[in-house]
Amino acid sequence: MAEESRADLVAAEDVLLFVNAAITATGQREFHSGAGAQRLSLDFLHEYVRVNYRTVYAAALALDINDHNAALIVRHLLVSAGEASAEDKRVEGRLIAARLAALPPQRVYRLMRALRAAKVNNRRTRAIFRDWLGARPDLGFDAVKYRAGLKSAARHVHLPCPDAELGDFLFRPGRRSRYAHPLLDAHRRAHYEQGALYELPFTVAEGFAARHGVARETFLKRVAPRATRLERLRLQGQAGAPVADLAGLPLTRLALFVLSLAPGERAARRAELTDALRAAALRAAGPHARSWGRVAAVLDDSYSSAGSGLKRRRPLAVALACHFLLEALAAPGAYRGWWTSGATDALLVRPRGATPLGSRLLDALEEGPERVVVVSDGWDNAPPGLAGEVLRVWRTRLDPGLRTRVVHLNPVYDADGFDVRRLAPSVPTAGIRDAEDLPALVEIAAFAEGRTGLAELSTYLDRRTADFVASVR
């Protein structure tokens, strides 16, 4: 029985390790490791968990993992369909369909191309993607914006085109002199008529504008009505760019935008930016708002929070977003955030200095909060190891009764350790990519304390799977 229990705990640890990786890792360069090491480490984890825990590997699609890993899971499940039982295939099919519906369309089209290259074209795969294509709101829009992807997908899954002109647009583009679908016809006319490009989606119109030699400022002013909210956000700072509407933006995306602004502009727009961040935090908190009692946070704004060239300021943006979300989760007036740099103005934080997590943990614990949340990449180096020692003494000597619950959320995957870096064995750690997932991740982190086996974790995953599938019906 003891051996079974030990094996059960090891299995739970393996699964949690994979979940942390699937939340944080994207195969891109991080501050402390290169892209090659990231991809190699992630590929090993996917293979290991798929072979040994296929059921929970598929169930990870129902968790708050990032899109990169969700697409990888779908691909691996479809490539290895011969390893699954009929019941497994049924459950996997529902999870895959639900996750595809939640993925950005460009990523799904990329996934179809990868499966085509891998020569995966069985009846089950074709049915899954035909259903996804059939649920798209406007295939004409997809034909214009994702033309190569839709064309490849139509061939791969043997998709009968719903009307002849869509088939002509994809496979016989010079056959028709006009199209009934307005976007298809605008795309045809944009080859020789500048005015038509302003009827197209922004990214498509951008290519035609360059072909016609339209001045960038003129183009941005005229195409503004066609730009999405996120496209407006990316264009901020360019001459002629439309003004971005911050209302309704996701919290982490908004934090990234705030950090992209110069400190002077942040200070000048303090009221607007703070109000937008607090409103986004309240939306993210949802029913948990004001329910967490006294909360303290240790937030990492050390130099490594700058991230990498591909993920600029991502760790710092997660910490900033968590700061405002924890303020929304705490009781009114019962939250305080401690930045590792000693900064007191969250809106003006920037990556700088070392990472004195131990000192800031002492500050946070001294106030006796009910919860302490640490948001850091785990590279405690001023001095090294102090945070782990503080947490060890706190848990074993000063607070063995768990009056204060401490959790560590890490936004950076450690390729060498196949996991996110941890501060102390006694403190649960979970990976985090978007601050909006914080309440659910705190729940997952509780499984990482080493006292829960695979049965309890599987029950949790079954519940999340049922909720996830039901939410996208």
pLDDT at site 157: 81
Same-domain pairing of 443 and 356: yes
The answer to whether residue 463 is domain-embedded is no
Give tens-digit pLDDT for 61-87: 999 899 999 999 999 999 998 898 889
Give tens-digit pLDDT for 202-258: 999 999 999 999 999 999 889 888 888 888 888 877 766 777 778 888 999 999 999
One-character DSSP codes across 123-165: HHHHHHHHHHHHT-S-HHHHHHHSHHHHHHHHHHTTPPPSSHH
pLDDT at site 5: 62
The answer to whether residue 165 is domain-embedded is yes
Same-domain pairing of 266 and 162: no
The answer to whether residue 468 is domain-embedded is no
Q: List residues bridging with 312 in a β-sheet.
A: 307
Contact 58, 73 (CB under 8 A): yes
Q: In the chain, how many domains are there? A: 3
| Phi, psi dihedral angles at 409 (to 5 degrees) | -110, 125
Read off the pTM. Answer: 0.89
CA 460 to each of CA 15, 446, 464: distance values in angstroms, whole numbers, following the listed order: 12, 11, 6
pLDDT at site 290: 96
Same-domain pairing of 329 and 280: yes
pLDDT at site 77: 96
The answer to whether residue 336 is domain-embedded is yes
The answer to whether residue 65 is domain-embedded is yes
pLDDT at site 4: 46
CA 397 to each of CA 297, 298, 326, 343, 402: distance values in angstroms, whole numbers, following the listed order: 22, 21, 27, 30, 11
Given a cut of 70, whether residue 452 has pLDDT beyond it is no
Same-domain pairing of 237 and 257: no
**What percent of the chain stands above pLDDT 70?**
95
Tokens of 66: 């990032």
**Most confident listed range (104-108, 223-227, 304-308, 442-446):** 104-108
Give me the domain span that covers residue 408. 251-452
Give residue 424's pLDDT band: very low, low, confident or very high (50, 70, 90). Answer: confident
The answer to whether residue 461 is domain-embedded is no
Of the residues 225, 245, 265, which one is the last residue of a structural domain? 245
Given a cut of 50, whether residue 380 has pLDDT beyond it is yes
Of the residues 139, 166, 187, which one is the last residue of a structural domain? 187
378 — alpha (psi -120 to 50), left (phi > 0) or beta?
A: left
The answer to whether residue 473 is domain-embedded is no
Give residue 2's pLDDT band: very low, low, confident or very high (50, 70, 90). Answer: very low
The answer to whether residue 291 is domain-embedded is yes
Same-domain pairing of 158 and 263: no
Same-domain pairing of 88 and 165: yes
Question: Amino acid identity of 109?
Answer: Y
Write down the mean pLDDT value for the chain.
89
Same-domain pairing of 216 and 304: no
Same-domain pairing of 375 and 415: yes
Given a cut of 70, whether residue 162 has pLDDT beyond it is no
